[in-house]
Structure 1
Amino acid sequence: MTDGTQAEAGTSPARGKYAPVQLDESEILRRGLDTFAELGYAATTVRELARRLDASHNFINDRYGSKENFWRAAVDFALRDAQPALNQLLAECLDDDERLRKVVVQLYRLAANASGLNRLMSDESTRDSSRLDYLHQRFVKPFWDSIEPTVNSLMAAGRIPRVPAHILYFAVTGPALALAQDPIADRLNPAASPTAEQDRSSMADALSGLVLHGLLPRPG
């Protein structure tokens, strides 16, 4: 069958090895991130990525070199604005109390509105891997280094408990990671509309308010 008769029959010719992908770079990376978040890294095959991108099975290796390089590109895309936004927020705050409060609120809003990234980070945080090293170097360490002086100052003032750094990290970020757990949220609150359809920022604010009430109660 010729290409012309295939088109008349309503079918598509097989995609050639170097056929162009009809997506811009941001959409390619967004779909990649969502696939890794949904399936996990190990279960995400190059073939499955190609299928979701409507690309040839060689596309990922041809453009990015490997599945892991593509994963890194997707993570970089998702996190590209996170640290600059945090740095700006820290610079604008007047005192340590306000600084930590606003950081927690911003972190939870990011987690709620970027559920794919949130799910990916939650999954990767349980595995000792080069990918976790990458997340730590690119996001976790810069984030924690940015707020550590604030945390130390609040500990010294008796405003938050003196605990090891990783315990405080879990106290701050653990609830934020839970904002990606829509299926269990829907089962716990079946009378509400589906969690995915709710105002994600309002959900984040309610949860961050609850966490901050315990972690950093207001004086008086």
Structure 2
Amino acid sequence: MGQAKSRGPYAKTAARQAEILRAARDSFAERGYAAASLRDIAERAGITHAGLLHHFRNKEELLAAVLAQRDAEEWQEGRTEVDRQAESLGRYLVNVLLRHQKSPELMRLWLELTAASSRPDHPAHDYFVDRYERSRVHLTHATQEQSVRGELREGLSPKQAAVLLQAVLNGLQMQWLLDPRIDLADAVNAFLELIHAPGDR
């Protein structure tokens, strides 16, 4: 019985934090990280400024939580959809970009933060360093078996393919924001063709 009681406050806390994260994501997307305020986020979440600080100590901590949530959603999708076959990896990457296209302001915020966090003193610096490392590990694993089967272009290692994929995905999103006529799906699929062994096409 005591255990059942303990779930109540925890469930309420988790639900409240989820509301705050949704509000923060919307505020960051609309106003940009620098202009977004904790008071605006609290108002969007339907709580007081003090109530928000009970869950997140400052805007930097809230930013880290928003980024972590976004990544967790995509990592989970990746584990579910990618079976290390080229076709599945391609479908997953295309689906990620198409989903990002539906929220261009979030895409813009993500790219702005990526660039800004290259400064060691930026509050999200450590997060992005770790995030890119984890992404390289996942993408390397996704292409490892292709390499073993001889399906990766000769002379290209899985780790190199992972770094190139990261560069292509980021670069394509930037280009699309500048020119929405660019076909992201077509570009991703064309790049995947380039890194595959000729006999595997």
TM-score (norm. length: structure 2): 0.65
Identity of aligned residues (%): 20
Structure 2 gaps of 5+ residues are: 1-14
CA contact under 8 A between 1:87 and 1:146: conserved in structure 2? Answer: no
Distance verdict in 2 for CA 1:100–1:161, change over 3 Å:
farther
> Structure 1, residues 25-65: CA drift from partner, whole Å, max 9, x if none?
43321121121223232222223323433433323322212
- 5 Å-filtered alignment, 1:93-172, equals 93=84, 95=85, 97-127=86-116, 128=119, 129-137=122-130, 139-151=131-143, 153=146, 159=153, 162=156, 166-172=163-169
Counterpart of 1:159 in structure 2: which amino acid?
Answer: R
Within the candidate set 46, 53, 71, 2:38 is matched to: 46
Which residue in 1 is equivalent to 2:171? 174
1:216 has 2:197 as partner: no
Distance 1:142 1:67 in 2: 24
What is the TM-score of this pair, normalised by structure 1?
0.61
Q: CA RMSD in A?
A: 3.5
Structure 1 61/161 Cα, relative in aligned 2: closer, same or farther at 3 Å? farther
Unaligned runs of 5+ in 1: 1-22, 190-202
CA–CA separation in structure 2 for the residues paired with 1:111 and 1:46: 25
Supply the AA of the counterpart residue of 1:84: Q
Structure 1 equivalent of residue 4 of structure 2: none
Whichever of the two has the greater Rg, that structure is 1
- Among 4, 15, 21, the residue aligned to 1:29: 21
Structure 1 pair 171/77, CA: closer, same or farther in 2 (3 Å)? closer
**Cα distance, 1:122 vs. partner?**
0.8
Q: Residues 26 and 114 from structure 1, CA distance in 2 versus in 1: closer, same or farther, beyond 3 angstroms?
A: farther
- 1:69-108 aligned within 5 A: 69-91=61-83, 93=84, 95=85, 97-108=86-97
Inter-CA distance 82–164: structure 2 relative to 1 (3 Å threshold): closer
In 2, distance between residues paired with 1:142 and 1:61?
Answer: 30
Deviations 1:85-142 (A, max 9, x none): 1122223x5x3x32432232132133224545423321111112231321442x4332
Q: Helix, strand or coil: the match of 2:66?
A: helix
